[in-house]
Structure 1
Amino acid sequence: MTRYRIKSSKIIIAAMIILLCLVSITGATLALFTSNENDGKIGINATSGNLRVDIVDADDPTDSLVGEVLDFYTPDDRDGVLFEPGATYRTEGFHVLNSGDIPINFILYVSEDDTVAEDFKDAFEVWITNDLSNKAAAVKLQEYDGRLEVGQCSDIYYLVFRMKETAGNEYQDRTFTGVGVTVCAVQGNASIN
């Protein structure tokens, strides 16, 4: 068996190299988190904004529709809504308005009270569109998301309700009350200046 002798000078050199590496890494890390600002102060200013969103009338964006009942129309704008399997109707037009002081991302959804929630979902499909003349422009409501800058008003939206063809006679003479449109908004992504 061969024995290796390690000289103490090699051990000292190895220890010095390790110490030098540690000092270099520590110094670089400290330099990374140090600023050379003129005033010597580092600060982060975070302010909160006001998130405010509203559903407003298509003809008058100052007229809030919160708590109002939206009328239904046939595709050719006739009155006299009669929901039957396969029938399609739309609401009157409305805008979503960002009246807060921060950009927002939003979604719309149909909210139902507990007495009609399951029946409503089983009976109807809900779509959103901003172009009544183009059926391809309609998007399923649950797939739509929007973005509004501060003070911006959306395009005119229409909700399109279509009674599913699979809906049976159990919905005959039923009235769906407590159905509403809700806007859910969150602060939009910040822009980088």
Structure 2
Amino acid sequence: MNQEQLNRMTSGKGFIAALDQSGGSTPKALKAYGVDESAYANDEEMFTRVHEMRTRIIKSPSFTKEQILAAILFENTMDRKIDDLYTADYLWEKKGIVPILKVDKGLAAEENGVQLMKPIDGLSALLDRAAERHIFGTKMRSVIKEANKEGIKAVIEQQFAVGKEIIAKGLVPILEPEV
């Protein structure tokens, strides 16, 4: 764990920028920026277009550590580069912004008034790769829709179980049971 990043997350000011649209939400995000489906022929081209968009955002003079504490990245973005640096390295070294990785794979169907995270296949390998890419921590989301004791207990148990795996790999988890 990077002590300087930990200090920034502990006492720094700013918000966390969400740059973590995944495969399912990427077409909608691109369309909002004026890039429709005709600009790409397959998933690889789509992810290239969204990385180009994220790169423009990250390199913008207004995307600074004075306002932004950290940025949440999608796995595909973590593995891409900006100016010959992996995205996390560019964020930290050039911008002073802490890199965080979205690790959840979406939401399961609603049950007991909640949506748990879908299984995160390959989590251990993903966390190893995140550590190699100098990711500070992770984010994972589930949703509580009703005040259902069983459902809420299941969300908390799942979030903490995955959080413990993340801590064991030396990363800092953001537990996100959205209400």
Give the number of the structure whose residues are more often strand, by fraction: 1
Q: What TM bracket, shorter-length normalisation?
A: under 0.3
Provide the TM-score with structure 2 as the length reference. 0.24
RCO higher in 1 or 2 (8 Å CA, sep ≥ 6)? 1
Give the number of the structure whose residues are more often helix, by fraction: 2
Provide the TM-score with structure 1 as the length reference. 0.23
